């Protein structure tokens, strides 16, 4: 699983399945879309305007409960947290 946040587009994406998939997009609302692969497997969830969901929009925080973080080998620390190349 991978969670990414695009500050410029103010979009949050939660990727549930790795790899390339041809997806069918189902819009739940104007701001929330689900990406389904063949066999109705949920690939990801997109949230537009995501900053309104953060307690501190300028420094979004994600809490991992009962999950272990995985830091990529090419990661480095930035003023906004950990980034990978």
Contact assessment for residue 26 and residue 34, using Cβ atoms and an 8 Å cutoff: yes
The more confidently predicted of residues 10 and 71 is 10
pLDDT of 63 reads: 73
- pLDDT on residue 76: 64
For the stretch 49-64, pLDDT in tens is 998 888 777 777 777 7
Bridge partners of 13, per DSSP, are 4, 46
pTM, two decimal places: 0.73
- For the chain, the average pLDDT equals 84
Cβ atoms within 10 Å, residue 35? 21
């Amino acid at each position: 699983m991978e969670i990414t946040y695009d500050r410029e587009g103010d979009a949050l994406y939660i990727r549930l399945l790795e790899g390339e998939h041809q997806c069918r997009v189902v819009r739940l609302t104007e701001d929330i879309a689900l990406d389904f692969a063949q066999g109705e497997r949920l690939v990801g969830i997109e949230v537009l305007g995501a900053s309104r969901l953060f307690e501190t929009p300028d420094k979004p925080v994600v809490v991992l409960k009962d999950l272990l973080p995985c830091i990529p080998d090419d990661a480095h620390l930035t003023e906004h947290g950990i980034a990978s190349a």
